[in-house]
Amino acid sequence: MASAAFEEIVEDFEFLEDWEDRYRYVIEQGKALDPLPDALKVPATKVDGCASQVWLHPVIEGGVFRFEGDSDAMIVKGLIAVLRHLYNGLTTVEVLEVDARAEMTRLGLNDHLSAQRSNGLRAMIERIRLVAAG
């Protein structure tokens, strides 16, 4: 169960056969994100388990989940953007139903991220699920 925005990323990835192009695409997604205000870069929003600095600021309004995020690493900021496409706008129940590992496998990211980046991605997904579970 993926959002239409995430499905667009999947379609874009199908056209990009070279992994260098796919990495550039993910980085461009991150560059398009608005920076997280410094006031939100606090210990409560910092995600442990990531090699780089990562902050996720989730908001649930009317049962709908959204989050902003930022990182000091461009590829990780791009992964945050991809996760935003996957989760933003879903209800908290839908967030918990998303099989993020399967969805990311559709992009082939699991095979092309370093172990540290994969661990960081898992940590971000766990934080999202924890917040959605309330």
- 108: which 2 tokens? 């082939």
Checking if the pLDDT of 26 tops 90, the result is yes
Residue 107 near residue 8, CB atoms below 8 Å: no
Residue 89 neighbours by CB distance under 10 Å: 14
Give the model's confidence band at 49: pLDDT under 50 very low, under 70 low, under 90 confident, else very high: confident
What value does the mean pLDDT take over residues 24-44?
96
Catalytic residue check, 50: yes
Side chain identity, residue 86: L
pLDDT tens-digit readout, 79-114: 999 999 999 999 999 999 999 989 998 998 777 888
Q: Please give the mean pLDDT across all residues of the chain.
A: 93
Query: Do 63 and 92 contact (CB within 8 A), yes or no?
Result: yes
Strands (E), 44-134: 54-61, 64-71
Class (C level, CATH) for 4-133: alpha beta
Contacts of 31 by beta carbon, 8 Å cutoff, 6+ apart = 74, 77, 78
> What is the rounded distance in angstroms from the CA atom of residue 57 to the CA atom of residue 68?
5
Residue 101 burial by CB count (10 A; 0-12/13-18/19+): exposed, middle or buried? exposed
Determine which one of 27, 36, 50, 121 is catalytic: 50
